[in-house]
């Protein structure tokens, strides 16, 4: 299913591949081979075996009884938090490392903000014995020491980035610069549904295992292979894209994305790109971008490090524009409260990113008969310090 994706990578007016000349051959080789590789039966077998035996898939679909009682509807949680390394990011990292190997690449680079994608990439590189360099802003290195130490223990070189605000977008720029210098032996593992075509579609396909499993699991749980609502948080958009994918053309299913409002969409401290962004180009993709009137990128803010990207995957920009999906902006406080609530009611400590998806429960009323699936994209271990410093009341 290609939800309106054109051959040159456009979802409606969003997407494409705006790249420097020197990367053209690389991106073009990827574009010409990714579908053939992904559809190859041997690739599929290797990918699913690793997802099963190494990641621990299928991730459970859990009926959240007490949460359902509180909100008077039927809430199911898709438990990506139970994956190896603690989030959905490993699904994509495994897909891309297998693809890189088939394309004859010997060196991997990646960017990371909070460090979750860095750890997932470091993990698959160690597993496959591939050389790996992760670019990370100095500000993020200081904030995310545990993930930096994990990457180092896994044998990765973490290269500090000191340009700009020393955060995620600067790390992306450095990774792109590296790729320009080493186009022949290097594959760039992008961590979300962002970047030039074919990355948004490729990452979506690797993450689509989430909705493929949902079809089967919902049929077992509810006797119907589709829900009334799918809810997921949106940073670059990969866990949401994977959650929505097999239902994109099924209008019976309503799609809700939760983006990070930070302190509020009317403040300067926000990461709500769909609410606040304007059309522009970021990291090779024409999409919505948080920018000033003269096109300078605005540093986004969210309490959750995984959601503060100043762009948004082109699929989501299109889903928002066409109205196929609804995007709600959830504040720091709402997310903190939702995290505490899930912990008290279901004894699951979610990642702060995922807590934004849970935060929509207080905003939107569902019918008692509705089946609402919320993807818990990751676990909250990495956010304990933030939880400790910000006590929320349920
Ligand atoms: C990185 C991350 C996100 C945001 O990324 P998407 O590509 O939008 O899914 C969400 N949740 C967790 C746990 C993450 O680590």
Q: Of 82, 85, 115, 116, which is best to mutate to test ligand 1, by the most ligand atoms within 8 angstroms of its C-beta?
A: 116
Query: 6: cis peptide before it, omega within 30°?
Result: no
Q: Which atom of ligand 1 is nearest to the CA of 207?
A: 9
- Nearest Cα residue to atom 3 of ligand 1: 306
Question: According to the model, what pLDDT value does residue 193 have?
Answer: 98
How far is 330 from 46, CA to CA, in rounded Å?
Answer: 38
Cα(239) to centroid(ligand 1), Å:
6
When computed from its CA atoms, the radius of gyration of the chain, rounded to whole angstroms, is 19
pLDDT at 249: 97
**Cα–ligand 1 centroid distance for 211 (angstroms):** 16
List of domains in the chain: 10-50+89-203 (3.40.50.1100), 57-87+208-389 (3.40.50.1100)
**Ligand 1 pocket: which of 192, 203, 231, 354 to mutate (most atoms within 8 A of CB):** 192
Residue of 353, 356, 357, 374 with the most ligand 1 atoms within 8 Å of its CB, for mutation: 353
Separation of CA 238 and ligand 1 centre (Å): 7
Q: Per residue in 152-187, is it b (16+ CB within 10 Å) or e — as a string?
A: eebebebebbeebebbbbbbbbbbbebbeebbeebb
Residue 214 confidence (pLDDT): 98
Q: What spacing in Å lies between the alpha carbon of 343 and ligand 1's midpoint? A: 19
State the distance from the centre of ligand 1 to the C-alpha of 21, rounded, in angstroms: 30
Residues in contact with ligand 1 (CB, 6 Å cut-off): 87, 89, 116, 192, 233-239, 306-307, 351, 353-354, 377-378
Q: Which atom of ligand 1 is nearest to the CA of 241?
A: 9
For residue 113, the ligand 1 atom closest to its alpha carbon is: 1
For residues 213 and 59, the answer to whether their CB atoms sit within 8 Å is yes
d(CA 294, CA 190): 27
Helix (H, G, I), strand (E, B) or coil at 321: helix
Evaluate whether 155 touches 118 at the Cβ level (below 8 Å).
Answer: no
Output the residue whose Cα is nearest ligand 1's atom 10.
353
Q: Locate the ligand 1 atom nearest the alpha carbon of residue 191 and give its number.
A: 7
Task: Please tell me the residue having the least CA distance from ligand 1 atom 13.
Answer: 378
Residues marked active site are found at 89, 111, 377
Question: Which pLDDT belongs to residue 114?
Answer: 87
Atom number in ligand 1 closest to CA 354: 11
Q: For each of the chain's 394 residues, which pLDDT tens digit applies?
A: 457 899 999 999 999 999 999 999 999 999 999 999 999 999 999 999 999 999 999 999 999 999 999 999 999 999 999 999 999 999 999 999 999 999 999 999 999 998 999 999 999 999 999 999 999 999 889 888 999 999 999 999 999 999 988 989 899 999 999 999 999 999 999 999 999 999 999 999 999 999 999 999 999 999 999 999 999 999 999 999 999 999 999 999 999 999 999 999 999 999 999 999 999 999 999 999 999 999 999 989 999 988 988 999 999 999 999 999 999 999 999 999 999 999 999 999 999 999 999 999 999 999 999 999 999 999 999 999 999 999 755 5
Q: Quote the pTM value.
A: 0.97
Q: Under DSSP, is residue 77 helix (H, G, I), strand (E, B) or coil?
A: strand
Three-state DSSP at 10 gives: strand
Tell me how far apart the alpha carbons of residues 31 and 44 are, in angstroms, rounded to a whole number. Answer: 18
């Amino acid at each position: 299913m290609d939800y309106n994706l054109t051959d040159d990578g456009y979802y409606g007016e969003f997407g494409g591949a705006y790249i420097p000349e020197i990367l053209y051959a690389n991106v073009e080789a990827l574009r010409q081979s990714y579908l053939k590789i992904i559809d190859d039966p041997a690739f599929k077998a290797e990918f699913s075996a690793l997802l099963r035996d190494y990641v621990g898939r299928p991730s459970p679909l859990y009926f959240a009884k007490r949460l359902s009682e509180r909100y008077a509807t039927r809430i199911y949680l898709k438990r990506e938090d139970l994956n190896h390394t603690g989030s959905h990011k490993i699904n994509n990292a495994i897909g891309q490392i297998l693809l890189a190997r088939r394309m004859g690449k010997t060196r991997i680079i990646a960017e990371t903000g909070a460090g979750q994608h860095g750890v997932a990439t470091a993990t698959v590189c160690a597993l496959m014995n591939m050389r790996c360099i992760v670019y990370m802003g100095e500000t993020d290195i200081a904030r995310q020491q545990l993930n930096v130490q994990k990457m180092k223990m896994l044998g990765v070189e973490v290269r500090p980035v000191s340009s700009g605000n020393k955060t995620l977008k600067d790390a992306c720029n450095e990774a792109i610069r590296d790729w320009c210098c080493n186009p022949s032996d290097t594959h760039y593992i992008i961590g979300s549904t962002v970047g030039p075509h074919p990355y948004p579609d490729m990452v979506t396909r690797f993450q689509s295992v989430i909705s493929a499993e949902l079809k089967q699991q919902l049929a077992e749980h509810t006797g119907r292979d589709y829900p009334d609502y799918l809810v997921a948080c949106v940073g670059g958009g990969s866990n949401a894209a994977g959650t929505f994918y097999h239902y994109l053309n099924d209008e019976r299913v309503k799609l809700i994305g939760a983006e990070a409002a930070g302190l509020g969409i009317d403040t300067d401290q926000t990461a709500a790109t769909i609410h606040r962004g304007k059309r522009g180009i970021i990291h090779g993709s024409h999409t919505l971008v948080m920018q000033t009137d003269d096109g300078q990128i605005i540093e986004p803010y969210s309490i959750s490090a995984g959601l503060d990207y100043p762009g948004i995957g082109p699929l989501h920009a299109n889903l928002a524009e066409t109205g196929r999906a609804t995007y709600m902006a959830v504040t720091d406080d709402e997310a903190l409260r939702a995290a505490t609530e899930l912990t008290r009611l279901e004894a699951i400590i979610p990642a702060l990113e995922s807590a934004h998806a849970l935060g929509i429960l207080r905003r939107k009323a569902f019918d008692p008969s509705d089946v609402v699936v919320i993807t818990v994209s990751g676990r909250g271990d990495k956010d304990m310090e933030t939880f400790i410093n910000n006590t929320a009341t349920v």
